[in-house]
Chains A and B, each alone.
Chain A
Amino acid sequence: MIKTENLTRTYGKGEGQVVALKGVDLTINDGEMVAIIGKSGSGKSTLLNLIGGLDVPTEGKIFYNDTEIGKMNDTELSKFRLNNVGFVFQFFDLIPELTAEENILLPSKLAKKNGEQADGLYSALDINDRIKHYPSELSGGQQQRAAIARALINSPDVLLCDEPTGNLDKRSGEEVMSLLKTLNEEQGKTVIIVTHDADIAGQCERIIEISDGHIA
């Protein structure tokens, strides 16, 4: 279970200070598929980054199964991300110097695991014949599938997706969403998707709307 209490994040100081999130209280249960929607700059990505430990809150607390991640140091937080969270970004964020396979296997190597489910993931994501290629040699859909495979390689309980279809055509977007739904339904993964696409949000069990840093 993921729980936030009075979650606040501000950027900058003085007159130029921007409040991205302001006192957000939220609970997401295990195995839920949640969509976070809102306008550009409403604070939805900030919320996702804070939940995933990519950013630290200015105020408030974030609990993951009763453990407060805000109190973790960099090493503990890194370990938390490595083992419990999988990230899927809008711009895929694959390391350009590494092949798709190396990108996918990187978290398992970091966690000192053997990446045994890699082959299954390649087949499931239909990227078997592309894994030896560099990101620049892959299409957007293939890159995003590789990014999802990388997010899943250490079997995390939570998948955090920041506009995962934002950079894909309609067909590729549908494929990715279908994949995420399968992961949620069949493997019970908690999936949190940040989007401003109503269709995608409509495919989720729950929709949380963020407006001006608040839950609407």
Chain B
Amino acid sequence: MTSLYILNKYWLKHKKSFATLLFSGTLLCAVITCLFLNFRKDFITDIDDVYDKQGRQTLLVTSDRTDVIDLVTKEDTIRGEIDVLGRTGIGNDTFEYGILHDPEDLAHLPLESGRLPEKEGELAAFRSVLKTFGFFGDVGDKITLDTGTYTLVGILHDEDADYRDGTRMHIQQLYDDVYDENQKEIRYYYPMLFIGGSSSKTPVYTWVMLDNIKYVTVPDINRDRYEKFHDEFNDVLESKGIEFDTERDWQYINWEYYPFWSVAKTFKQNQHKMMPLYIVSCLIASLSVLAVMRNIFAERENTIRMLRKIGVSKRRITVMYTIEYICLAIIQAAAGIAIGSAAHFGISSYQTKVLSGKKFSGFTANRFADRLLPNSFVIGAAISAGVLLAGYFLAAILSNINTSCRRKKKAASLWRCAGRIFRTRAVTVIQITALTLICFGTVYGYMLFHSTEGYYLENGVGITLENEEDEGKFIPYLVTVFGKNGQFDFDKDDIEEYYCTDGIRTVTTGSFVYSLHSDHFNGIDDTAVDRLSGVIPHGALPQTFIVSDKNSKLKSSIVYGSEEEKQFFLENSSDEDKALLSSDKVLYKSPIALTDKEVTGKLSQYVTAGEINADKLDSGEEILMIVKYGESPLALGESIQLGAAETENGFGIGKLSTTEVRIGAIITLPKNMDKFLRYSISAGDDYNLLTTASRAASMGFEGAMYTELFAKEAIGSQIPLGTGFNMTSKAQLRHELFMKNASFLGSMGALLLLMSLLGFSAYFNGIGLKIRLKEYQISIMRAIGTPIKRLRRRLMLDGLRIPLFSGAAAFVAVKLMQRIMLSGYNKMQEIEFSTQQAIDAFSSTLENNGEGFTKAQLAQLDHISELEKQSNIIYDQYLCEQQMWFMNAIIPTLIVFCVMCVITILLTRKSFRRFTPDIASSLSKGRKRQ
């Protein structure tokens, strides 16, 4: 009780110290808790990304294999089913459809919008499937298929579907067994269409999805474990006398091994570059605690001495501090966990609600995360308690060290005397470490962010710069690029909005392009374009051709895939078309670009033959010839027979529209002309024809619509409905960039801010402690006639050596880091060079090898694979992607150094406020402290 009484008295008297210690410890615990909760959230998100690609189930097997299902099922095995009812669709376009019974979301279907079907008459389908049906609507619309009319309640995301393609071959095998006719390649192991409710129809077959099955233990993230599981499973099956045909039954085993390998890789890549910052932050937070502890112990040395003098045993003092330690550790853990959790909740809410991220947080239940990641709360409490304990030990050790430097020499100068008086090595070490870490962390953060804004040109394996001087040149990422192949830039080209739509649907056979007949085409016509101001429209008809003879200068004659195909076309064509296809005429691919009168009017300066006659162009009498490269294949005034192919069902040429038209003018485009103008009138490679959309439509070319619009100002509200345009705008891209940066910069900035706060708190504690420890000496100096200003100035100058030293140390550390990264990069390049040589050597052995790989070749392949693996590891470990070795670290270091100097001056001034004009009392206090 006496111990508690003394402790209580002490803390009541030193409330500020107590608060500072609790603040530092709590913050450390909060940082770690929040950090690990963030790790957990990222991990769960990464797992979900993997599930998006391959579903959640561990084992996918058909329901007739009850023996296998029974074997692997245990008490807490999760089960889901998909009853495949058959095929449905429109006409020949049919896909599997089925009912999903999956309360645990094992199928993990990637929803683009809406939800999965629940009631009868509801339907969810992949976007690509809907497009195949010619359905361009949205959730809520009705869709009529062979099996009935459904309400579309959900659209599934296609992007991830390719990842699920790996099982296609296995599924094909089963599929072939189930269906006898209408064999078509399927893309997914899941049905393409999902309906709701319960069907009275007997399923053709049922997929059983199982998760958390028997014999699957937590795997190590390595190949051996995978193999082990495989062998174990086979052994068990064999011992039970169960026949298991991998091709037929083991349709898809989603190994725990595999998702973890993927997740671990993604997780590692995401966290790798931030890891130095995490470590630096934790170190700084720990230093902050140590600095406060040292401060407190400096204050209580006298108390301990006094307690010992009045007969309190060492043991009792130890017990006293142990009780204190436990209390502090519990309080800081509780407060830290609460603050860290709240901070994480804020961060994850921000990421979910503002940045539209996945709805996960570190609190989301996930058994894999539970198994593989340490508990965030435990780790936060444990590390902060550990640091506090270290603080006790360190402070206890340091308090017994006499830090004065004793040299019996001739009396030193005043400057040296002052230097010796104010020297406190232990505190200085803490301060230098704190500032060095802040400086390093900030410079590293700057470099990390800078590396996300662009890249540096460099010579490397397979890359040789044309100009040697370009080595190391910084190329910023253009964030506002758009258009096909990203050839335009909103900023540079002064465009505000860009509209694009699919246009007419075309089918290609051989080199024959023909449009599919449709009642609706995306895009807008001349009338709609005329109503829009400041818009450059573009459209193209890829299915058009010119009928000419064999001697024509026209290029790209249309060829059929095969003779059988040509025959098939002929059989499915009209009599008129048959005559054309059977004649000795040649059809030359000749796409027509569409643009409006306003743009056509700007072309007169580029006319090399004839003149643009708007009336004749409008009446369909003439058409313009655009030549981008080489000479015009057609002469001015030459009459051509122009045609376009269109089909009803995708087979044969349903309709060959042909019309006579004369070349009114030849326009040769220079390379340096306005790129929008050039783009808007171009359609083919070397040359193309040009007319307006309405003229083309009146000539019988269906689907002649403008499918791209470049707008100088926002025109969103003026675009008619039902055009199918997707809009990209400068503001939208900027917003996306902002969101992306906000996520990265936000978390990094918060970390840096917190790190700096903690670091400066440790630093400030150091300054305060130094002055307090030297209060006696300072008071004597004042008593014998030293003005306080002079002392303050001396201490400030003394203190400025710390940022100077820290800045230099951080700079050296950054340079060292850059050197290490560069050495890693060079090493990687050497390996890549060796890989290239190995690939070349392997390729040379492939000739005259018609019977599979030899053992030597397989060994070569293994060697190549090993080299690639090594290269990837180095690329990740040495943060090669960031190219940090190119960056100039001097300027950020200098900026941080200046900030540290200013803070040193301000903090020293603040610490000196403790000295009042009452030197006597200060001397007396200092004397007691000695």
Contact = CB atoms under 8 A, between A and B. Distances in A.
Interface stretch (B130-138, B734-742, B824-832, B913-921): B913-921
Contact of A45 (B405, B776, B783, B920): B920
Interface in A96-112: 96-99, 101-102, 105-107, 109-111
Interface in B373-415: 404-406, 408, 411-414
Interface in A161-193: none
A78 B927 contact: no
Given A96-B930, A97-B420, A55 B917 contact: yes
Interface range, B side: 20 to 34
Contact of A150 (B414, B421, B784, B788): B784
B789 A75 contact: yes
A64 interface: no
Contact of A96 (B404, B408, B784, B920): B404
Contacts of A134: 406
A150 B408 CA distance: 19
A55 B918 contact: yes
A96 B423 CA distance: 12
Interface residues of A, number: 37
A98 B420 contact: yes
Contacts of B788: 74, 78
B923 interface: yes
| Top 10 A-B residue pairs of the complex, sorted by shortest distance between their CB atoms | A82-B785, A49-B920, A78-B787, A109-B414, A81-B785, A75-B787, A54-B919, A54-B920, A97-B404, A56-B917
Contacts of A133: 408
B62 to A, nearest CB: 86
A79 B788 CA distance: 11
B673 interface: no
A97 B789 contact: no
A83 interface: yes
Contacts of A109: 413-414, 417
Nearest to B405: A97
Contact of A83 (B411, B785, B787): B785
A106 B414 contact: yes
A68 interface: no
B164 interface: no
A5 B106 CA distance: 94
A102 B411 contact: yes
Given A74-B787, A106-B784, 14 more contacts: A54-B783, A54-B919, A54-B920, A55-B919, A56-B918, A74-B789, A75-B789, A94-B780, A97-B420, A97-B421, A97-B423, A107-B784, A107-B785, A132-B408
Interface string A106-135: 110111000000000000000000001110
A63 interface: no
Most chain B beta-carbon neighbours within 10 Å: one of A46, A74, A95: A95
B786 interface: yes
B782 interface: yes
Contacts of B919: 49, 54-55
Nearest to A78: B787
B221 to A, nearest CB: 58
A12 B756 CA distance: 38
Nearest to A118: B411
Nearest to A93: B780
A82 B918 contact: no
Interface in B777-798: 777, 780-790
Nearest to A76: B787
B409 to A, nearest CB: 8
A95 B920 contact: no
B920 to A, nearest CB: 4
A27 to B, nearest CB: 22
16 contacts: A46-B920, A55-B921, A74-B788, A75-B789, A78-B790, A79-B785, A81-B784, A82-B784, A82-B786, A89-B923, A95-B421, A95-B780, A102-B412, A106-B781, A107-B785, A134-B406
